[in-house]
Amino acid sequence: MANTILTPTVITREAIRVLHNNLVIGKNCNRQYDDRFAQGGAKIGTSLQIRRPNQFTVRSGATASVQDVQEYANTLTVATQRGIDFQFSSVELTMNIDDFSQRYIQPGMSRLASEIDFLLMQNAYQAAGNTVGTPGTTPATALVWLQAGQKLDEFAAPRDNNRFVAMNPAAQAATVDGLKGLFQSSNRIDDQYTSGMMGQGLGFNFMMSQNVNAHTVGPLGGTPLVNGASQGITTGWAETTSLVTDGWTAAAANRLKAGDVITIAGVNAVNPETKHSTGALMQFVVTADAASDGSGNLTAVVAPALIRAGAYQNVTGAPADNAAITVVGTASTAYPQNLAYHKSAIALVTADLELPKGVDMASRETYDNFSMRFVRDYDSTNDVFLSRFDVLFGFKTVRPEHVCRVWG
């Protein structure tokens, strides 16, 4: 019986299926914007404005107080292309698709999926200020995950079975061991024992990922203080605030790294609905590396923006001049950043890449709104067939307040 030649369509369909199955966060995030990109044939640099939910103030009494509705948005840009390249000959095309997949597609797509998940997790932790746990201690108790859920509750993340945890192997092992047999049905305990996986519980869908990022805290140095009162804004919404500080070690060198988390004495977070204090200090994330000058002054760009009043108020008030600043973690030390998040917080879109003409093989396929292109061409100089699998995508943490970092 003659061998069946594998077609580019069969190869691409298998590759995109394997890629999707290997994703962790990539298939448990906000994918509702894919159609918006597919309509016009998005290319690198194409962007989409994602509106934030409007917020309003409540009047007191019978007299109307009309509010101007000004909508705010996050920008998601298709700016990332990743791919896997390798060689295979026409002889390999006579293989059974299962054998071909095991030899070529599965290892390649596993690596590509890891890259996508890593980028999503990096973007999420560097955008989120909410944190729980103790830096340097692997989470192993129900309390730390319940506290992560508490953070999401305090910032009004929905409780609709779309809350997820992505944790590294160490956190998973410690958590399963720490919670074994507690408040679980016999079937759930049996599943945990058999699989070694946490599964579902404590308000989250738990997932293990080897792509959980580690964050290295900046070098720090000095006794940092707020430099100047009344910082922040009182109307509207902004993504970040430039926080003016002093008291750092006097040297023109980075003190804070993107992803560092700080708190400011006397500045508490407020519930986005009630505007009442949560009773806890607001946690801000540094969005870009920041260096002190020769006098120890430093301006740090932090998120969320410090909004002291109005419909988008998120803190109890402005920091006082010389208010103490505390950085979470120890200087120059790396800590795993496990993530607890609501599915809607992290957006991912893929776009169709153009099919080139005049090549040996070319195919583009989608699977669950993921788009992938496969191209094979002949290199006459070196007498080899070159094959490439490409994905074009964009991602952004559009609701960072619905993400909580769990220190490891």
Amino acid at the residue 107: P
Token look-up 């019986």 returns 1
Q: Which CATH architecture has domain 131-214+336-344?
A: 2-Layer Sandwich (3.30)
In this prediction, residue 1 has a pLDDT band, given cuts at 50, 70 and 90, of very low
**CB 335, CB 261: distance < 8 Å:** no
Q: Which of 386, 377, 380, 355 is nearest to 85 (CA)?
A: 386
Q: What is the CATH number of domain 218-332?
A: 2.40.30.240
Q: What is the pLDDT of residues 197-239, one digit of tens each?
A: 577 889 999 999 999 999 999 999 999 999 999 999 998 899 9
* CATH fold match for the domains 131-214+336-344 and 218-332: no
Calpha distance 250→295 (Å, rounded): 5
**CB 331, CB 343: distance < 8 Å:** no
Model confidence, pTM: 0.89
Q: Kindly report which listed range (47-51, 83-87, 127-131) carries the lowest average pLDDT score.
A: 47-51
Apex 157 CA angle, 281 and 393, nearest 5: 105
**Which token pair is 311?**
């419909």
Half-sphere exposure of 349 (CA within 13 A, CB side): 30
Q: Kindly report which listed range (84-93, 116-125, 305-314) carries the lowest average pLDDT score.
A: 84-93
Calpha distance 180→198 (Å, rounded): 9
State how far the alpha carbon of 139 is from the alpha carbons of 145, 193, 269, in Å: 8, 19, 24
Statement: residue 85 has pLDDT above 50:
yes
Beta strands in 209-331 (DSSP E): 214-216, 222-226, 241-248, 253-256, 261-264, 268-270, 277-281, 284-286, 290-292, 298-303, 325-327
Half-sphere exposure of 395 (CA within 13 A, CB side): 24
Domain definitions of the chain by residue range: 8-53+73-124+348-387, 131-214+336-344, 218-332
Predicted local distance difference test score (pLDDT) of residue 218: 96
Predicted local distance difference test score (pLDDT) of residue 309: 92
In this prediction, residue 399 has a pLDDT band, given cuts at 50, 70 and 90, of very high
Write the burial class of residue 65 (CB in 10 Å: 0-12 exposed, 13-18 middle, 19+ buried). exposed
**Which token pair is 334?**
């790396």
For residue 17, the 8-state DSSP code is H
Please give the residue that has the higher pLDDT: either 228 or 252: 228
Q: What is the pLDDT of residues 89-110, one digit of tens each?
A: 666 666 666 777 788 888 899 9
Q: What is the pLDDT of residues 33-46, one digit of tens each?
A: 766 565 445 566 67
